[in-house]
Amino acid sequence: MKKRGTVTLRQTLIHLGMLALVAFVFYLLTSYVNSIRQNADFEMLFFSRDLALLSNSIYSSPGNVEYIYSMDNKPLSIFKIEFKQLSTLDDKSVVKVEYGGTSKSYPFAKSSPNNDIYIISAPKSIKFDKKGDNLAITKNE
Amino acid sequence: MNKIASMDTILNLFRLFFLIIVFFSVVSLARAFIVEKIDLFEIESKLLNYRIAFSDKISYVDSDTGRTYVGIIDLAKFTSDDFAKNLLNSIYYGKINSEASAKIVLKDLDANQGYDVFYEKFYNKELYDEKKVLVEAKLTGAGAAKRLDTSFYVLIKDKDYFRRGMLNVEAILPNR
């Protein structure tokens, strides 16, 4: 019969196991929160929609328009941005924002059924230049 | 001894269960702050209404300067048979346009005929007719649609005469 107050090896191992489990769970939680912090999904969502709405606004303006799009608080330079048709079968125009293998896209309306494609990688800002019905989109440093 | 051991096991199971609850609570709380959807209906529909109203397919364009006079509706353009096709090509969402539709009503306020004179046209009529049913049924969620009306006081240019008018654009956009 064991004396009162003595701790068996089994109990010690159980307590150590519990501590290890708690440490592991804490590590999982902090990794998960850190992955959310590094996640750029919201930024991609925001930029695809903002650029699509901006394209629509510029197309709807009469006459010639020049506009430089930049965001001081949210950097554009980590993204690859494409203004292109969705596919050869579906000629809907979309703004596609890509980062780290994932992308978000949003459609916008051109002023004619042309097939201009603009691919802009890591821009500091983007220049929209509309002359008549034609819109040219370029990287602006 | 066996009773103590089984009590320990039960207590450990409770601790494990509690730990799982805490874990999922933290994950749910973190996920609650992640935004996965941005509702753009109001701004997108207003933009469509203004784009239609400002369009050179509706507005009077001076042939000498090429300037578009927004707010002056060219009645000849508005009532032409090619109006719908021209407008669809000037606000081009693709061969199969499943993004936007609108009904455009031009009311002649100076008609002096004892009754109201309306001219009714559509932007993407097929989608408008399809989604109008869903709007009237007040359905919500993906696959349904929402409507926004915008009215503009305009001048109607009928050959060399100007009359007062009102342009009403009713945009119907499918929910994303």
Mean pLDDT, rounded, for A6-10:
78
Which residues of chain A neighbour B101 with C-beta distances below 8 Å?
A: none
Nearest CB neighbour to B91, from listed A22, A61, A109: A109
Q: Which two tokens stand for residue B90?
A: 């000037």
Contact B34, A42 (CB under 8 A): yes
Task: Check B94 against A90: CB less than 8 A apart.
Answer: yes
Q: Tally Cβ neighbours within 10 Å of residue B134.
A: 18
More confident residue, A62 or A74: A62
The predicted-structure confidence for B84-99, as pLDDT tens digits, reads as follows 999 999 999 988 889 9
pLDDT confidence of residue B23: 84
Query: Residue A119: its pLDDT value, please?
Result: 87
Q: What pLDDT is recorded for position A105?
A: 92
What per-residue confidence (pLDDT) applies to A8? Answer: 84
Which of A46, A56, A91 lies closest to B47 in CB terms?
A: A56
Reply yes or no on whether the pLDDT at B27 is more than 90.
no
Query: What is the average pLDDT across A52-65?
Result: 91
Residue B46 has pLDDT above 90, yes or no: yes
Mean pLDDT of A75-101: 86
Question: Domain locations in chain A?
Answer: 1-38, 41-140
- Chain A's closest residue to B22, CA to CA, is A25
Q: Give DSSP secondary structure letters for chain A.
A: -PPTT---HHHHHHHHHHHHHHHHHHHHHHHHHHHHHH--HHHHHHHHHHHHHHHHHHHHSSS-EEEEE--SSS--TT-EEEEEES-SS---EEEEEEETTEEEEEE--BSSS----EEEES-SEEEEEEETTEEEEEEE-
As a whole number, mean pLDDT of residues B22-34 equals: 83
The pLDDT of residue B166? 94
Chain A residue numbers touching B89 (CB-CB < 8 A): 112-113
Quick one: average pLDDT of A14-41? 84
Average pLDDT over residues B64-77: 92
Mean pLDDT of chain A: 85
Q: Which residues contact residue B156 at a Cβ distance below 8 angstroms, ignoring those fewer than 6 apart?
A: B72, B73, B75, B106, B108, B162, B163, B164, B165
Which residues of B sit within 8 Å Cβ distance of A? 8, 12, 15-16, 19, 23, 26-27, 30, 34-36, 38, 40, 43-44, 47-48, 50-51, 54-56, 59, 67-68, 70, 89-96, 99-100
Cβ separation A60–B89 shorter than 8 A: no
Please compute the mean of the pLDDT values over residues B104-113 and round it to a whole number.
86
Query: Taking CB atoms and an 8 Å limit, are A110 and B92 in contact across chains?
Result: yes
- Contact state of A36 with B56 under an 8 Å Cβ cutoff: no
CA–CA separation, B122 and A3 (whole Å): 92
Residue located via tokens 């992640």: B34
Region of A79 (left: φ > 0; alpha: ψ -120 to 50; beta: rest) is beta
Q: Which of A48-62, A114-128, B152-166 has the lowest mean pLDDT?
A: A114-128
Looking at residue B12, its pLDDT comes to 79
Residue A76 is predicted with a pLDDT of 80
Interface contact flag, A60 B70, Cβ < 8 Å: no
Q: Which residues of A touch B90 (CB under 8 A)?
A: 111-112, 133
Q: What pTM was estimated for this model as a whole? A: 0.81
What is the average pLDDT across A80-104?
A: 87
What secondary structure, in 3-state letters, does A95-122 show?
EEEEECCEEEEEECCECCCCCCCEEEEC
pLDDT-wise least confident of A65-69, B14-18, B33-37, B61-65: B33-37
The answer to whether the beta carbons of residues A60 and A52 sit under 8 Å apart is no
Please give, rounded to a whole number of angstroms, the shortest distance from the CA of B124 to a CA of chain A.
Answer: 13
**CA–CA separation, B81 vs A40, rounded Å?**
48
Q: Are strands B68-74 and B145-158 parallel, antiparallel or unpaired?
A: parallel
B116 pLDDT more than 80? no
Taken in order A73, B34, A38, B41, the sign of the CA dihedral is negative
Find the CB nearest A14 among B12, B23, B99.
B12
